Amino acid sequence: MNTILPIYHIGLIQAWFAALLVYRKPNKGVADNLLVVWLFIIGFEMLYSLLRACLNFA
């Protein structure tokens, strides 16, 4: 098993969980909305890297 896969899993879950928490926060400002977008982008990058790693090592 590749040792980087758990790091991608943890990063993906943490980024999307943090984005969900900020998204559900009442009285959001512009900075909060930008943070949500940024965290989703980080999550998608982690997902892309995870899929690439899984397909290369399968």
Q: Where are the domains of the chain?
A: 5-57
pLDDT along the chain (58 residues), means of 10: 86 96 96 97 95 80
For position 32, what pLDDT does the model report? 96
Q: What is the pTM of this model?
A: 0.85
pLDDT at 3: 83
DSSP code string of 14-48: HHHHHHHHHHH-SS--HHHHHHHHHHHHHHHHHHH
- Residue-level pLDDT at 18: 97
